[in-house]
């Protein structure tokens, strides 16, 4: 005898991050980024404003769903790397960053990287990138921990973030035949990590 499926309590969740992203991207192309409100995005997606904020803290967050998931993946991978010599931690860092990048295929390029000029440049979008870069830098610096002097760990963390930004930019610019982010990141990251490993 099989158990009957349990009824879910409360109202079912309406909407999804991808539905909200799609609505936002359409509106950004129509009205520009600054000319689009959260209310308009919610209405276009057929959900309430509160539903939007269940998924995103700010309008600019719709651009970075995949990037946020990748940073979470790197952070989880590096939690175990808080012990050992600097060379071991650098190898783990390399593997964690490339594993996350390898999960991002040609269709996973953040929409804003290929449409920025069409929606108009905005300080809010740029600030949202800086927040994510800072978060990734902090994750990397924690991984390195006491295996290197603080200034060196900080330098490496920012250099790695620079390599990630350079790789994402070249990946977006490469067009439909771009492949996964991993090959672009390997080219940008390897010289950085090799240089620090030699210190």
Name which of 87, 15, 105 is nearest 53 in CA terms: 15
Is it the case that residue 13 has pLDDT exceeding 70? no
Decide if pLDDT at 188 tops 70: yes
The reported pLDDT for the residue numbered 81 is 67
CB distance 192 to 163 below 8 Å: yes
pLDDT band for position 152 (cuts 50, 70, 90):
very high
Q: Which residue has the higher pLDDT, 109 or 2?
A: 109
In the predicted structure, residue 2 carries a pLDDT above the cut 50? no
- Which pLDDT does position 49 carry in this prediction? 96
- Average pLDDT in the 40-58 region? 96
Q: DSSP string spanning 24-52? A: HHHHHHHH-STT--HHHHHHHHTS-HHHH
Give the pLDDT of residue 45: 96
Q: Which CATH number fits domain 17-59: 3.40.50.12780, 1.10.10.60, 3.20.20.150, 1.10.10.10?
A: 1.10.10.60
17-59 and 64-197, same CATH topology: no
Nearest 5°: phi and psi at 149?
-55, 150
What pLDDT score does 14 carry?
A: 55
Domain spans of the chain, in order of start: 17-59, 64-197
Say if CB 59 and CB 21 are below 8 A apart.
Answer: no
Q: Which of 15-19, 70-74, 175-179, 181-185 is the least confident region?
A: 15-19
Q: What is the pLDDT of residue 84?
A: 78
| Rounded CA separation 12/37 (Å) | 25
- Can you read off the two tokens belonging to residue 96? 């964690």
Per cent of the chain over pLDDT 70 is 90
- pLDDT in the model for residue 118: 82
Selected residue with higher pLDDT from 168 and 197: 168
Domain 64-197: which CATH class? mainly alpha
Phi, psi of 10 (to 5 degrees): 75, -175
- Residue length of the chain: 199
């Amino acid at each position: 005898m099989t158990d009957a499926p349990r009824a879910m309590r409360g109202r079912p969740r309406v909407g999804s991050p991808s539905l909200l992203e799609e609505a936002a991207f359409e509106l950004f192309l129509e009205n520009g980024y600054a000319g689009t409100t959260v209310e308009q995005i919610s209405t276009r997606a057929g959900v309430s404003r509160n539903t939007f904020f269940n998924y995103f803290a700010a309008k600019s967050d719709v651009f970075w769903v995949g990037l946020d998931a990748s940073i979470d993946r790197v952070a989880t991978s590096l939690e175990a790397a808080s012990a050992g010599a600097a060379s071991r931690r650098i190898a783990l860092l390399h593997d964690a960053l490339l594993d996350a990048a390898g999960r991002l295929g040609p269709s996973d390029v953040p929409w804003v990287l290929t449409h920025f000029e069409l929606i108009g440049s905005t300080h809010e979008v740029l600030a949202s990138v800086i927040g994510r870069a800072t978060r990734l830098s902090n994750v990397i610096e924690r991984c390195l921990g006491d295996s290197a002097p603080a200034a060196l760990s900080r330098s490496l963390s920012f250099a790695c973030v620079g390599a990630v930004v350079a790789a994402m930019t070249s990946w977006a610019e490469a067009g439909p035949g771009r492949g996964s982010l991993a090959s672009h990141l390997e080219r940008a990251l390897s010289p950085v990590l090799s240089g620090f490993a030699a210190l």
